[in-house]
A and B are shown apart, each in its own frame.
Chain A
Amino acid sequence: MPLLEIRNLHASVDGHEILKGLDLTINAGEVHSIMGPNGSGKSTLAQVIAGHEAYEVTEGEIVFKGEDLLDMSPDERAGEGVFLAFQYPVEIPGVSTNYFLKSAVNAVRKHRGQDELDAISFMKLVKEKTKLVQLNEKLLSRAVNEGFSGGEKKRNEIFQMAMLDPTLGVLDETDSGLDIDALRIVADGVNTLRSEGRSFLVITHYQRLLDYIVPDYVHVLVDGRIVKSGGKELALELEQTGYASVQDGAVQTVGS
């Protein structure tokens, strides 16, 4: 059974159809990348997987671990193992990262039938996972993402992913706004988290990120549909020829 199966997905926002029949299958342990021009629907796909209510699914289905994902609330999806690293992490004044994250970690643990972490085990886990992306622990006593630099926000996303231990990590343009050093740190963090039991969907506009997080499969999303799929070499090809060359390409399915 695949981990994630998206069939004929149509989704709209404010009455405009963005996704127009998207198919995608991800098996356990695979890293898939979705590339595509601006406005092709990459971020919409990420938001729909995470359960943002502004996006209306008008047709199709998403099956996650054999269950209907679209039937679950965003927090249930997180409990089931879906994690979205936001393109624009939200600043939340007055709520400290530590406080929020402890609630989040214990909510997903509860959902998964695990014991809640006490303060000491939680801090131990924080210590271990902050090292993964070289995030300064002191930042965590601040309000969520408030006063964080662009790079710190993205590292905070990957840190949170490590804390929540998902089975599917969706990275929405995690590379945007990162310089080359920060990009390497974030990618190293993700690579450390790669395992047989964990899959990734890496959404990016540029091929650059894929030099560091090497995908098993690359898909090209144009106008709400996947128009071409291939191996990691497809990313390089796109870098040279641009997206225009694949606009009329044949639809292929992979990974199934």
Chain B
Amino acid sequence: MSSDTMQSTTQRFVDLYRGVRTDLFGADSKESLARRDESIARFGELGVPDRHNEEWKYTNLAAIEKLDFSVDRAVRALDASVIEPYLLEGAAGPRLVFVNGLYSEALSDLTGAAQGVMVERLQSDANLTDLPSDLLDRCADLGALPFARLNTALTAGGALIRVAKNASCVDPIQVLFVTVADDAPVASFPRVAIVAEEGAQATVVENHIALAGAATFTVALTEIQAAANAHVDHARTTELSEGAYHVAAIASRQLRDSRVESCVVATGGEIARHDFRFVLDGENADCNIRGLASLVGDEHVDNHLLVRHAKPNCTSREFFKNILDDSSRGVFCGRIYVDQIAQKTDGVQTNANLLLSDNAQAETRPQLEIYADDVKCTHGATVGQLDEEAIFYLRARGVPEDEARGMLVKGFAGEILDEIRIESLRDRLKEKLFRSTSDRSALQTSL
């Protein structure tokens, strides 16, 4: 184990695994157990990183060291009204709901899948004896991410969405993960796999909600595979409460002429960390990743990206924005990596930060690593405050100050949110961000 890790915390997760090992789904399969064993061993080697680890320099997980997490062995009952606000309005597609990582039959609805769309829940009594073996390790570099390894070892539930060749699911499939802890801290390990076969189209919305209560720790993993000409539209939200820690890996591998769009919105919680590993592994593939975090208090969001252009003529766009109020912190560390053979790569990466308070902080490190000689790649980062001249302009036209500020914040967020095609999700997120902004303004005015 390397020195820049939290050894006792690492050991506690290894012990946690030993305790539940034979109860997890796929335990009947030797192959599956071997994969989990191998993953926990690798996790043990990599360890829970501390801040001496370069990749975790700005995100301190020390708080979880003091927490003694357990995992749920049976799915908790949850009132339907709790998840209602998060459901997509009028969506005909299936909905899978998980509570602390375990599939909830009562809250889910598997009907409504379009022809050629297979939605399979991963759980202990599922027919699946194994995680889909063609998925893991097909996405880049997941092996080096300790928490991706931990997820593979400990996952007790999730969704596998497979869209058959040339089939199309336009109505979004919703996968909703709720974490809740009454008095003792709870950990969960949700898993999502999206497989779009040749020419298929998949639309998936993934929501991670943490309810108020004791501490929760979510270690999530999402894998996307887009075959030739496939199109995956993926939106993911983390909407956390105080005491919630969320660490996720989002990996994608694309073949020729495929397109993957992923929009990742984060708000609330203690820490949300997203590691993106996207590989463009076929010519003319195109990926578009957008991220937005809106934070108050001591909230902390860290987006780490690696987009690898492994074949020629691919396009990638990564646009990330943070709205940072109070003493919140936004971290962005992005890298476009261009293989030597990946000529005619077209890559753009930007990170923009809006600081609404003197105590908010943004760390931004956009990077390029290019081994081909005929590429067009740019990157950029900005850190700024609301434009006071713009506020004056709006006020001089009669718009009250609070509303003017809210309008500018909404405008800043809109450049990301407006790209979400699912209307009810887009409107809900806008409403949520805008409301919290005006609440903040109201609070400031009253102080």
B411 touches A95 (CB 8 A): yes
Across the interface, B399 reaches (CB within 8 A) one of A84, A86, A94, A107, namely A107
A164 touches B397 (CB 8 A): yes
CA distance in complex: A104, B399 (Å): 5
- Is B393 an interface position by the 8 A CB rule? yes
- Shortest distance between the CB of B317 and any CB in chain A (Å): 17
B408 touches A75 (CB 8 A): no
- Shortest distance between the CB of B407 and any CB in chain A (Å): 5
A103 touches B411 (CB 8 A): no
- Shortest distance between the CB of B413 and any CB in chain A (Å): 8
Q: Interface size (A, Cβ < 8 Å)?
A: 33
A74 touches B410 (CB 8 A): no
A160 touches B397 (CB 8 A): yes
Across the interface, A73 reaches (CB within 8 A) one of B387, B394, B395, B411, namely B395
Please count the residue pairs between chain A and chain B whose beta carbons lie under 8 angstroms apart in the complex.
Answer: 83
- Is A143 an interface position by the 8 A CB rule? yes
User: Contacts A73-B401, A90-B387, A107-B400 given: A78-B395 contact, CB under 8 Å?
Assistant: yes
Q: Which residues of A contact B415 (CB under 8 A)?
A: 93-94
B396 touches A84 (CB 8 A): yes
Digit string of A25-55 for contact with B (CB within 8 Å is 1, else 0)? Answer: 0000000000000000000000000111100
Across the interface, B390 reaches (CB within 8 A) one of A75, A78, A92, A111, namely A92
- Shortest distance between the CB of B347 and any CB in chain A (Å): 23
A95 touches B408 (CB 8 A): yes
A103 touches B399 (CB 8 A): yes
CA distance in complex: A95, B396 (Å): 16
B392 touches A52 (CB 8 A): yes
User: Contacts A53-B392, A92-B411 given: A107-B401 contact, CB under 8 Å?
Assistant: no
- Is B90 an interface position by the 8 A CB rule? no
The interface of chain A, by Cβ under 8 A from chain B, is 50-53, 73-75, 77-79, 83-84, 86, 89-95, 99-101, 103-105, 107-108, 111, 143-144, 160, 164
Closest 8 pairs between A and B when the two form their complex, measured CB to CB: A94-B411, A78-B398, A95-B411, A74-B395, A108-B398, A104-B397, A90-B393, A107-B398
Please list 14 pairs of residues, one from A and one from B, whose beta carbons are closer than 8 Å in the complex, sorted by A's number. A50-B396, A51-B396, A52-B392, A75-B398, A83-B396, A84-B396, A90-B393, A91-B390, A93-B415, A94-B412, A95-B407, A100-B399, A101-B397, A111-B398
- New A-B contacts (12) at CB < 8 Å, excluding given A86-B396, A100-B394: A51-B395, A73-B401, A75-B396, A75-B400, A78-B398, A90-B393, A92-B390, A101-B397, A103-B403, A104-B394, A111-B398, A144-B393
